[in-house]
Amino acid sequence: MDVIDASIVTVALPTIRNQFAASLADSQWIIGAYAITLAGFLMLMGRAGDVYGQKRVFVWGVVIFTVASFLGGLAPSLLFLIFSRAVQGIGAAMTTVTAFALFIGLFPEGKQRNRALGALVAIISGGFAAGAVAGGVLTVTLGWRSVMYVNVPIGIATALLFQRLLPSAPGWAKGQRLDVPGALTVTAGIILLVYGLTNAAAVGFGSELTAIPLVLSAVILAAFVAIESRSKAPLVPLSFLRRGSILVSNTLALALTSMVGGIAFILTIYLQEILGYSALYAGLGTLPGALIFFLVGGWGASRVIGRLGARKTLLISSALVTAGVLMLLPISPQGSYFGILPGMSVWALGASIGFPAVNIAAVSGTKRGEEGLASGVVNTSFRIGFPLGLAVFLTVAGAFDPLGAVGATGAAATAGVVVGFQYALAAAALLGVLAFALASRIHDVKQHWEVHGDSAASQ
């Protein structure tokens, strides 16, 4: 549900714009409001799950998400819809982070956790593909409001089944208090960061709408670090970030998702605005990549990680992602879907083995009572990566569009947009080189997983 709503509304966005006679900039907040609250509340909800119980936070998250989806379907105005999407994002933060934390707690490090996280990646990939396709089908057949209503029966079933099937358990950190100053500062700082990056995607980094939120975010997050260094029960202990490869792994997660989020958006615009594909066919065009994520990421990645370890897997992943992006560089206004399919497939193959590997590396060494903390940190890295990539690559594309500043129209304007996209792809390839360098610094913890996984299983 969380991932479907990140893609299903994107496909329906043009129809929603027409319904409310909204500008492109205003309508982008239907996506932006969801992304901002989802990213902003992950750290808080992750730690809340450790303190109050992951199951309790998850079920309440499903309820909030479902109610907000229903209200979004009833939305009488664009503002009401954006508000509903923001509340949806809070519910999604609660469920995303606690689901991942439950996986960490239920499956010990090693083969069991690798396979479990692989299955989780497969479901996430299937959700993204389902959202892209379902968004087109539902919008065309039943209208855009059905895109919101479809969550309601799924949410009700999920809450009931989860309440029944998963044993209740108190939070492992039940004796601790929640670090309120840390929670307020990190949530506000991340919300401002994602808000600023979302603005940057539309108006560039030079605008006050971008600069002011980003500066405030930097100040508030610096205050968060100061608070955590002095707190007796910190929301995010700084010692946790220094443990093993956690900091490097989260930085790598940020880089990989920046590439995936930015390039996926550019390819969607290229298919619809440049090649003239409908929303439905553009959604169907994502299926090959989604199938690679579903099959390779879901079941092949755990075998690769088990055989090669995290470091080698991530080196291969970043190399494949970079190669796939380089294969996309020759895009043109006269191109075709089959011209970008090879590069898109190689890029998806690299990302499909990279995401499970970086997740595993980022939670390696997590102790009892830290499941929500580890989940909150890595999920925040992933969620910030998408708007960061979108902002950076669209800024690059706009800056290097040779005709954008002179108001060209028709074929000339289309050609200029594609040139800008090519520069954005080149920037993504450079980011892939940085990801490769980061992957080389990951501690190869393959033997650590195997030893702890076997001992945990025997216990």
Q: What is the pLDDT of residues 329-369, one digit of tens each?
A: 998 888 888 989 999 999 889 988 888 888 888 777 667 66
The one-letter amino acid code at 356 reads P
Residue 171 has pLDDT above 60, yes or no: no
Distance CA 389, CA 255 (A): 8
Instruction: Give the Cβ contact number of residue 344 at 10 Å.
Output: 23
Predicted local distance difference test score (pLDDT) of residue 125: 66
Which of 20-24, 204-208, 265-269 is predicted with the least confidence, judged by mean pLDDT? Answer: 20-24
pTM of the model: 0.76
Predicted local distance difference test score (pLDDT) of residue 172: 55
Predicted local distance difference test score (pLDDT) of residue 175: 55
Average pLDDT over residues 187-212: 85
Q: Chain-wide mean pLDDT for the chain?
A: 81
| Nearest Cα to Cα of residue 96 among 379, 361, 436 | 379
Half-sphere exposure in the Cβ direction for 209 (13 Å, CA)? 11
Asked if residue 388 lies in contact with residue 117, where contact means CB atoms within 8 angstroms, the answer is no
Return the DSSP state at 402.
T
Asked if residue 382 lies in contact with residue 255, where contact means CB atoms within 8 angstroms, the answer is no
Structure tokens at 245: 């490869």
Overall domain count for the chain: 1
| pLDDT tens-digit readout, 388-419 | 888 888 888 888 776 554 455 567 777 888 88
Q: pLDDT confidence of 25, banded at 50, 70, 90? A: low
3-state secondary structure of 259: helix
Structure tokens at 60: 């309440």
Which of 28-37, 382-391, 401-410, 429-438 is predicted with the least confidence, judged by mean pLDDT? Answer: 401-410
Asked if residue 329 lies in contact with residue 102, where contact means CB atoms within 8 angstroms, the answer is no
Residue 173 has pLDDT above 70, yes or no: no
Residue 36 has pLDDT above 70, yes or no: yes
Distance CA 127, CA 109 (A): 26
Distance CA 198, CA 206 (A): 13
Q: pLDDT confidence of 284, banded at 50, 70, 90? A: confident
Domain that holds residue 259: 4-458
Asked if residue 349 lies in contact with residue 296, where contact means CB atoms within 8 angstroms, the answer is yes
| pLDDT tens-digit readout, 160-169 | 998 888 777 6
Average pLDDT over residues 36-50: 84
Predicted local distance difference test score (pLDDT) of residue 451: 36
Distance CA 291, CA 3 (A): 15
Listed in sequence order, the residues at least 6 apart from 433 whose beta carbon sits closer than 8 Å to its beta carbon are 322
Distance CA 305, CA 363 (A): 14
Average pLDDT over residues 4-33: 75
| pLDDT tens-digit readout, 291-328 | 887 778 767 777 788 788 888 999 999 999 999 999 99
Length of the chain: 459
CA distances from 267 to 240, 314, 332, 343 (A): 37, 24, 12, 11
Average pLDDT over residues 22-39: 78
- The CATH number assigned to the domain holding 151 equals 1.20.1250.20
Residue 448 main-chain phi, psi, to 5 deg: -60, -45
Structure tokens at 317: 């992943």
Average pLDDT over residues 154-180: 75
Distance CA 240, CA 366 (A): 9
Task: Classify each residue of 220-249 as buried b or exposed e, where b means 16 or more C-beta atoms within 10 Å of its C-beta.
Answer: bbebbeebbeebeebbbbeebeeebbbebb
Decide: residue 143, CB within 10 A, 0-12 exposed, 13-18 middle, 19+ buried: middle
Asked if residue 213 lies in contact with residue 192, where contact means CB atoms within 8 angstroms, the answer is yes
Residue 452 has pLDDT above 60, yes or no: no
Average pLDDT over residues 95-122: 78
